[in-house]
Amino acid sequence: MKTLVLVKRYTLGLVNALKDDKEFSLTSQELDGFQRLLSSHPELARILANPFIPAAKKSMIVKEVLTSASVAEKTVRFLLLLLEHRRLDLLPDILKSLPVLWHEKKGVSTFEVSSVVSLTESQQEKLRRGLELLERRPVFLQFRIDPGLVAGLSLRKGNVIYDASVRGHLSRLKEQIYEG
């Protein structure tokens, strides 16, 4: 629970520091690139997480890496803040919540749409329009493939899940049978 609060706090701080969609997009890409770098170089991740290595040394390493990659100053400051407070392990969760909180700040609802196969552009557009009618505000859709659904869709908005999949129907049927 504490981790979720910290993730939201850091993400909101970053969102409030961003001025427009262009800066949001750039910062998201740069943070994602840094996270991929840590994932592909576990030794670097271990060094940055090691409490016995001085913070100044870790900051120097991160600055060198980010400077060589021509990363924007705001992204550098954010990553150094996470490093300074020993919160670099929150970066993957921050990256997941960043688009949601960015769109929320702009008055846009975010839905995660899970399906067995990729939806066509016309299906995506039809779903977006339908959700905008229900929400009475713009929506942003994040799509992902979930082979466990069998068929249909599963929509998630925050902690609320709208399950219109065969798996969901079968689960509800199973509950009804158990209840008698």
Provide, rounded to the nearest whole percent, the portion of the chain with pLDDT above 90: 34
Query: 65 to each of 14, 37, 58, 130, how far by Cα in Å?
Result: 21, 10, 11, 45
Six token digits for residue 19 = 């001025």
CA distance 152 to 170: 12
CA distance 89 to 117: 32
pLDDT at 167: 63
Six token digits for residue 160 = 């609320």
pTM over 0.85, yes/no = no
Question: Which helix (H) or strand (E) element contains residue 126?
Answer: helix 121-135
Task: Determine how many CB atoms are found less than 10 A away from the CB of residue 91.
Answer: 20
Query: 95 to each of 1, 127, 129, 133, how far by Cα in Å?
Result: 18, 25, 26, 28
Residue 90's pLDDT band (boundaries 50, 70, 90)?
Answer: very high
User: Is it the case that residue 1 has pLDDT exceeding 70?
Assistant: no
User: Is it the case that residue 65 has pLDDT exceeding 80?
Assistant: yes
pLDDT tens track for 142-176:
888 888 776 778 888 877 777 766 666 566 666 77
Task: Determine how many CB atoms are found less than 10 A away from the CB of residue 56.
Answer: 8
Residue 34's pLDDT band (boundaries 50, 70, 90)?
Answer: very high
pLDDT tens track for 123-148:
889 988 988 898 888 888 888 888 87
CB contact at 8 A, 87 and 49: no
pLDDT at 105: 87
